[in-house]
Amino acid sequence: MARAKKAKRSTRESGSGRGKDAIALLKADHRQVEEWFEQFEKARDEDRKQRLATQICNALTVHATIEEEIFYPAFLEATDDTDMHHEAEVEHNGAKKLIAEIEASSPDDDYYDAKVKVLSEMIKHHVKEEEQPGGMFAEARKSDMDLDALGEQLAMRKSELEDAGDDGDEPPIPRGQKSRAQPGRMAKSR
């Protein structure tokens, strides 16, 4: 049985998103953004900082969207854990506000680096909450959630959002949102 479980885990964690279970896909996103935050901290060139901050903000926007549209509702339905669900949603809302501020500014702004650093700290806290023993991902694994099917749904939606964002414009409009005009969000200047 341990061998079968290990084989199942290795197949679901391979690839670039397809074939991963939901938790493996979400954790891979976490690791990628952590790497970009580390690169941002070491960067000295303003153009590099801007590119990294844009990558981070876009990746977090897509990640939050797929969690909110697919993973969180499935988690809530399977576990009825409203406390954990609501806390995750509130953390996302705080991060989205800071992302909007970062996207509306540039490395020339006095508070730019500080905002990216605070976003990094917020995301580290959120990731810890999701990944820790007894956290959302552990609870999801214990539940009857079909993590493989959810992983496929997450990967497909993530691909849609990334493809829509490849036009060089702002990240795509999340499902259910009527326009890109959001409170506190300004168009990027190029």
Identify the residue whose tokens are 């976490």: 30
Q: Residue 11: which pLDDT band, with cuts at 50, 70 and 90?
A: very low
Stated as kind and residue range, the H or E segment containing 85 is: helix 82-103
In the chain, the percentage of residues whose pLDDT exceeds 70 is: 77
Residue in the structure block whose two tokens are 């801007």: 50
Highest mean pLDDT among 4-13, 86-95, 163-172: 86-95
pTM, entire model: 0.79
Task: Determine the Cα–Cα distance for residues 102 and 107; give it in Å rounded to an integer.
Answer: 9
Mind listing the pLDDT tens digit for each residue in 116-174? 999 999 999 999 999 999 999 999 999 999 999 999 999 999 999 999 876 544 444 44
The predicted pLDDT at position 167 comes to 57
Q: What is the pLDDT of residue 76?
A: 96
Q: How confident is the model at residue 20 (pLDDT cuts 50, 70, 90)?
A: confident
Whole-number Å distance between alpha carbons of 117 and 51? 15
Q: Tell me the C-alpha to C-alpha distance, in Å, between residue 67 and each of 147, 150, 177.
A: 13, 10, 15
Task: Look at the chain and count its residues.
Answer: 190
The reported pLDDT for the residue numbered 124 is 97
| pLDDT tens figures, 29-72 | 999 999 999 999 999 999 999 999 999 999 999 999 999 999 99
